[in-house]
Structure 1
Amino acid sequence: MNNVIKRVKYNARRNAGNVGDSPGMIRVPDGALKPHIAMFSYNKDELITSEGKDIKVILAQLKKCDNHTHWIKINGLGDARLIEQIGEHLHINPLVLEDIANIHQRPKFDEYEDYAFSTSRIVHFNSEDELVNHQFSAIIKDNLIISFEEDHVECFEAVKARLKAGKGAIRTAGPGYMCYALTDTIIDTYFILLAQIGDKLDAIEDKVYTDADKSIMFNSQQIKRTLIIIRRASWPERDKINDMIRSESPLITPEVKLFLRDAYDHCIQAMDLIENYKEVTSSIIDLYLSMVSNRMNEIMKVLTIISVIFIPLTFIAGIYGMNFARQDDKGHIIPGNMPELYWHNGYAYALLLMFFIAVTLVYVFWKKGWFNKL
């Protein structure tokens, strides 16, 4: 991975809604990807998976596996009708459906009568070193959880691997535990991202001492902006997890709350790292600006010494460069008009005088130690 973050790809697609729209309207952003549905139905003994592009695959497997817990994973929000059908089938509040399609939500946890709604931010570097900030949403209800992601990039391979292995509580602890597992995975991606940023900061800091140039300031500022975006994702994530821990919903069982406390600690650690890296970034910028200022001072010092040496020499040359005539047009001596101009060897005397002054000044500066500090 390069040491330069190219740019921040922060959801270039904007919400297609208009000012004054009725609440609960589903507006799919322009350029949103068509959905791909992956469904995982599991219990202690088995895992059944299926894939599709419409709600038929969901309804068929719900009917087939009525004694299982279901994770319905939807990648892509480019089908407003699919979101509406899910809302109609599960009796979801239209405001929740609107939040799913509105891809600029901050992390939160909302409780309703028989279901809960959760959002998070998935932040990671893509293959081109662009910072991608996508929304993750989840509806938790009875024996199922439906997750919504903006793109088709797979971020939950570890959770799927745990499902297939069938170890731990992931198959038996219900949809609330699955929500925890997905949230914890998102927080883990923050640590991966921060580790990459830490490597970039180390490389930039090494460059400050070896080959400093203005790219240091630009790259540090870009990393600082990246850290601000991660901070905007992690701080409300902490509040969201805290709301889940304090929730009285039966979907969030005491067993799940125990794991959520661990996720809460991880979120606090990520926030501490973010603040530390922000301080390091600011220090690098300040250090670079100080080095530039010191370098400019050294240059000005050299120029000042040269100027001080040549000022008296220029003065002497200027004095004897004035062309006042020694005699008038009739050959009479004009008193007070530079008798030195007619001295024998006057040119050599002037050069010796200027050389003596220059050497004297250089000696004085050397005795003061000015040359040692250049």
Structure 2
Amino acid sequence: MKKDKKQFDITRPDKILMAGLRTLGTIGDNLTFNLYSTLKSESKGKAQTVFIGKKKLEKVAIQLFEYSPDDCMELDQPEDFSALQSPDPKKSYWLNFHGLHEVSLYEDLSKTMSFDRLMVRQMLDTTQRPKVEEYDKYLFFSVKSILQTEQQELNIEQISFILGKNYIISLQEEEGDHFDHIRYKIREKLGMVRHRKSDFLLVQLLDAVLDNYFETIDAFNLIVAELEKEVLKDPTHCTLLKLEKYKKDTQLIKKSLMPFKEALTNILNGRTNFIENENEKYFHDLLNSCKNAMDEIESTSKSLESLANIYFSSLSQKMNETMKVLTTVATIFIPLTFIAGIYGMNFEYMPELKYRYGYFVVWGVMGAVLILMLLYFKRKKWL
């Protein structure tokens, strides 16, 4: 027996409105998702490596750091990647890419480093879920970085890391200042970055990505505080649209943080050979920070849900107040209309019609009825 399709409760217009807002908000996302799905299917059918995502830069920018405790060399736009093929065991290497759309460049990198073809396809697919995968000679780590723009929109960027012996490769969709402070530490020999292996650098890079989440969550908390004042003071339809938008944004953040936490958990539970024992404590600290971020965004999401409920409660309260006034007015005029209706009848033999002061008497009765009803309503606290 087939189940009936889900029907909207017509007695709850707020639910219909909320469903409509969610539908409008996901139309564009569905169109983009379908476009990328088609591209994925075609690339798999042709066994091709393609870039799946939005092109954010005109040209891929490359930067290579080669450092040790004693010296540091920085190279922009290196012509080849042979230095990573057989790295000096006394040095560490950090190769960073800005831009993912030049597929041929990453195919050359893959051939030089003997990377798995499946991993290359995953790092060029910006729709992939964050993950961690261990191969024989390297560890692949993919995360999402989320920052709020000045227009209060979420900028979601995929960042992938490949951790190998004495080297780490990072791939970003666009140029940003996520890792500028880490570059500064390497150049100026600050902290322990130049004294530790590449796995410690991975911790620093992941921590910088996680800082973006905390920055975004802090911005959201400020927005929620402003929305709370707006909801309690004078909510409008624009308030509801804002609530729905930020509820959707919080869901995106949670969807990105969850696999981030899972990936860190897998690294710690898998006892991978690419993480040294002395650096495991930093990954544990990173995992705890990730859990704290999840708790923060969960609290923000619940606050937004509560504000939405308050919004609809305030609308219902306003409607009840309006109906109360209208009902009071209608109730007062019912007996007055009854009296006026009686003496508006066109009967010839009505005793009061011949009475000299009948008009004033009727007005007096109607006034008395009005006053008595107002006093009664006041006593019952209906007014």
* TM superposition score category, shorter chain reference: 0.7 to 0.9
1:105 aligns with 2:117: no
SS of the residue corresponding to residue 17 of structure 1 reads helix
| Aligned equivalent of 1:267, options 290, 293, 299 | 290
Provide, for residues 210-257 of structure 1, a one-character-per-residue CA deviation record: whole Å limited to 9, x for no partner. Answer: 333233322122111111111011111111111112333332111221
In structure 2, C-alpha distance between the alignment counterparts of 1:146 and 1:310, rounded to whole Å: 81
Equivalent of 1:79 in 102, 111, 115: 102
In structure 2, C-alpha distance between the alignment counterparts of 1:203 and 1:194, rounded to whole Å = 14
CA distance in 1, matches of 2:303, 2:46: 44
| Counterpart position of 1:161 | 184
Structure 2 distance, partners of 1:363, 1:129, is 54
| Residue 367 of structure 2: aligned partner | 355
- For 2:351, the aligned partner's letter is P
Change (3 A) 1:350 1:216: same
Written as runs of structure 1 = structure 2, the 5 A alignment for 1:146-225 is 146-225=169-248
Letter in 1 for 2:72: L
AA aligned opposite 1:73: N
Q: Is the 8 A contact 1:216 1:285 kept in 2?
A: no
2:357 maps to which of 325, 345, 349:
345
Match of 2:76 among 51, 65, 87: 51
The reply to whether residue 367 of structure 1 matches residue 373 of structure 2 is no
Instruction: Give the C-alpha shift of residue 19 in structure 1.
Output: 4.9
Higher Cα Rg, which structure: 1
Change (3 A) 1:247 1:295: same
Count of aligned residue pairs for this structure pair: 352
* Contact kept in structure 2, 1:24 and 1:95, CA below 8 Å: no
- SS of residue matched to 1:21: helix
Q: How much does 1:345 deviate?
A: 2.7
Alignment of 1:121 with 2:144, yes or no, is yes
Structure 1: state its 5+ residue gaps: 1-6, 327-336
Q: Give the letter for the 1:142 counterpart.
A: K
Q: 1:257 aligns with which of 280, 284, 287?
A: 280
| Kept in 1: contact 2:84–2:167 (CA 8 A) | no
Structure 2 residue matching 1:74: 3-state secondary structure: strand
Instruction: Report the Cα distance in structure 2 between the residues aligned to 1:311 and 1:110, rounded to whole angstroms.
Output: 78
Q: What 5-or-longer segments of structure 2 have no aligned partner?
A: 1-24
**Cα deviation 1:47-77 (Å, max 9, x = unaligned):** 211212xx61544798997853111110111
* Cα pair 1:51 1:57 within 8 Å, conserved: no
Change (3 A) 1:22 1:64: same
Instruction: Answer yes or no: is the 8 Å Cα contact 1:106–1:236 preserved in 2.
Output: yes
User: Is it true that 1:280 corresponds to 2:292 in the alignment?
Assistant: no
Q: 254-263 vs 67-76, which deviates more?
A: 67-76
| AA matched with 1:288 | Y
Deviations 1:104-155 (A, max 9, x none): 1222110011111010000111232210111111111112111111112332
Say whether 1:247 aligns with 2:270. yes
Residues 10, 132 of structure 1: 8 Å contact kept: no
Task: Give the match's secondary structure for 2:51.
Answer: coil
Instruction: State the AA in 1 paired with 2:69.
Output: K
Instruction: Give the whole-Å Cα distance in 1 for the aligned partners of 2:51 and 2:259.
Output: 24
The farther-off stretch of 180-189 and 64-73 is 64-73
Structure 1 Cα separation of the partners of residues 215 and 353 of structure 2: 81
State the distance in 1 between where 2:109 and 2:253 align.
31
Deviation of 1:269 after TM superposition, in Å, equals 0.4
The 1-side partners of 2:100 and 2:256 are apart by 20
Which sits farther off after the overlay, 211-220 or 95-104?
211-220
Task: Give the Cα–Cα distance (whole angstroms) in 1 for the partners of residues 209 and 250 of structure 2.
Answer: 16
Answer yes or no: is 1:36 the counterpart of 2:61: yes
Secondary structure class of the residue paired with 2:143? strand
Secondary structure class of the residue paired with 1:322: coil
Give yes or no for contact 1:24–1:97 (8 Å, CA) kept in 2.
no
| 2:330 corresponding residue in structure 1 | 307
* Distance in 1 (alpha carbons) for counterparts of 2:189 and 2:367: 91
Bigger proportion of residues as helix:
2
What amino acid maps onto 1:229 in structure 2? L
Query: Aligned residue for 1:138?
Result: 161
How far is the alpha carbon of 1:203 from its aligned partner?
0.9
Cα distance between partner residues in 2 of 1:165 and 1:149: 24
Rounded to whole Å, the distance in 2 between the matches of 1:219 and 1:298 is 26
| Residues 264-311 of structure 1 deviation map (CA, whole Å, 9 limit, x = unaligned) | 000010111111111111111111211221121111111111111111
Distance 1:264 1:30 in 2: 28
* Offset at residue 163 of structure 1 (A): 1.6
- Indicate if the aligned counterparts of 2:133 and 2:141 stay in contact, CA closer than 8 A: yes
For residues 15-51 of structure 1, give each alpha carbon's deviation from its aligned partner in whole angstroms, at most 9, with x where no partner exists.
3333572496321236523311111111111221121
